[in-house]
Amino acid sequence: MSTSCPHDPFKNQRKEKGTLRANFEDEEILMILGYKEVRRAAKDWKTFSSDYPFRVPIPSEEKLRTIRQLPIETNPPEHKDYRAIVEPFFKRPRSPEYVADIEELVTRMLGEALKKDSLEIVQEFALPLQSRALAHLLNVPEADAEFWISWGTNAFLGSDDDSAKGAALEDYIHRCLDAAEEKPGDDFFSALTEATFHDRKLTRDEMVGFVNLAFAGGRDTIINSVSYIIAYLGSHPEVLQALRDDPKMIITATEEFIRVITPITHLGRVCPVDTEVVGEKVEAGKRVSLCWASANYDETVFDEPEKILLDRKPNPHVAFGVGAHNCLGAAHARLLIRTLLQKFCEMDISVTLMNTKDNIEKESHYERTVSYSTLEVQLIQGGAQS
């Protein structure tokens, strides 16, 4: 498919048809591409169900885990009750103490990065930042993140044997939960071991399902976003001065970066009965995709969607999903990105790009540039004024 924007390979198909039938591994999935249709389907959980373990991600994850991820792979009304169990942790980013912790983390990591002649952002900055920030979110010691960093940018993929990597992750989660059961604290694992759901304790499988999502869900998404933004600051040095002149623009810039990147291209839903979507038939048991990435470039909603307008407002993007399942980690992700931009401004850091390689999602029917797989840069303090 020819296209001018590497982030939006769906443009022609979205305009002409509104859907795309594409294969992921051996599964044919009808991708829903238009903004309104994506929103509509995301709200209609009876027709487009999440209540199928392993089948919300695309491609499906049967081979990567044995446990249903929670709360994402459930439908209302159970979904709401599952989500309520972990919501207090994901609201922590609203507290001033938490904001201060993240500011300290970002400042410290940028300080370390400034000491190096060059660094590869994806592995040496974005991945450790994501993992250490997650330790704060789950309220465990930051040192615990050092082991998580060793998993790489994706919790399941990237080794010689992806199913073995998934199994090792489940083993580790069991160990965390064992330790929490033995000596409960104020952390995420302990909260799960003590939680009640419909007047009973959670089963071990349910606990593992929550932790699995906490580790896998906000991982490459944040890493891709952080990497993309740092590269953008390197190629657009004027941006930091604009943000310094108008610090409120950090808020709109954060949302615009999230829209443009849309780190999760799409998520799946199963149609329990024969369904018609945008004039296309979907047989019972087959999946559709809610293509957030296409929706976020829909020209009927976003003027000049391919342009990055750091003061874009309104910006009703769906990068965090929409409806009951909207991203639990959104507040944390927003805080992290806003803080990153704020500290680049305050510390007067400029980015020199040295060696970059695109991170391209290659599927049978499209290729989409998400961010960078390699991003070697030099960070210099005071460079903006020199």
Partner 1 sequence: MPTVTFITADGEKSVIENAEGSLMDIAVDNDIEGIDGACGGVCSCATCHVKVPAEWRQRVGSATEAEKDIFEFEDEADESSRLGCQVELTSELDGLTVHVVGL
Which residues make up the interface to partner 1 (CB under 8 A)? 35-36, 39-40, 42-43, 94, 251-252, 254-255, 301, 312-318, 320, 322-323, 326, 330-331, 334
- What are the start-end ranges of the E strands in the chain? 19-24, 27-32, 119-120, 196-197, 200-201, 267-270, 275-277, 280-282, 287-290, 349-362, 367-381
Q: Which is nearer to partner 1, 22 or 243 (CB)?
A: 243
Q: How far is the CB of 326 from partner 1 (least distance, A)?
A: 8
Q: How far is the CB of 338 from partner 1 (least distance, A)?
A: 8
Provide the pairing of β-strand 287-290 with 27-32.
parallel
Q: How far is the CB of 14 from partner 1 (least distance, A)?
A: 16
Kindly report the number of other CB atoms within 10 A of residue 183's CB atom.
8
Q: How far is the CB of 8 from partner 1 (least distance, A)?
A: 18
Q: Which is nearer to partner 1, 259 or 343 (CB)?
A: 259
Q: Which is nearer to partner 1, 126 or 301 (CB)?
A: 301
* Strand partners for 367: 362
Contacts of 61 (CB under 8 A, 6+ apart): 54, 156, 166
Q: Which DSSP string corresponds to 124-161? A: IIIHHHHHHHHHHHTTS-GGGHHHHHTT-SSSSSSSS-
Report how far residue 253's alpha carbon sits from residue 210's, in angstroms, rounded to the nearest whole number.
Answer: 31
Q: Which is nearer to partner 1, 55 or 259 (CB)?
A: 259
Q: Which is nearer to partner 1, 7 or 338 (CB)?
A: 338
Q: Which DSSP string corresponds to 171-192? A: HHHHHHHHHHHHS--SSHHHHH
Q: Which is nearer to partner 1, 319 or 351 (CB)?
A: 319
Q: How far is the CB of 39 from partner 1 (least distance, A)?
A: 5
Specify whether the CB–CB gap between 121 and 372 falls below 8 A: yes
Phi first, then psi, for residue 41 (nearest 5°) are -65, -35
Q: How far is the CB of 135 from partner 1 (least distance, A)?
A: 22
Q: How far is the CB of 386 from partner 1 (least distance, A)?
A: 32
Q: Which is nearer to partner 1, 176 or 261 (CB)?
A: 261
